[in-house]
Amino acid sequence: MQILSSLDEAMRKEDAPHTIVVACEEDSDEALVASKAGFHTFSAEWFMMIIVKQSLELGAAQFIESVCS
């Protein structure tokens, strides 16, 4: 597992199916780019929830889906 600091760095890895992007509403433009590139995109709230539950829930609504609906 690696923690990357930018979307540009993630795009260079070319491992979209195994990459999770955590974004906030201010980053919705970048989250949309990440989603279109095939990355799993989730909100910061989702990230905090998985820490509390200690369970990775990839089936939860992705960030860009919740922002666009």
- Count of C-beta atoms within a 10 Å radius of residue 4: 13
Distance between start and end Cα atoms, the chain: 31
pLDDT per residue over 16-66, tens digit each?
Answer: 788 888 888 898 898 899 889 889 888 888 888 888 877 767 777 676 666
Read off the pLDDT band of 69 (50, 70, 90): low
Please report where in the chains the tokens 């990775």 appear, as a residue.
56
| pTM for the predicted model, two decimal places | 0.67
CA distance 47 to 52: 9
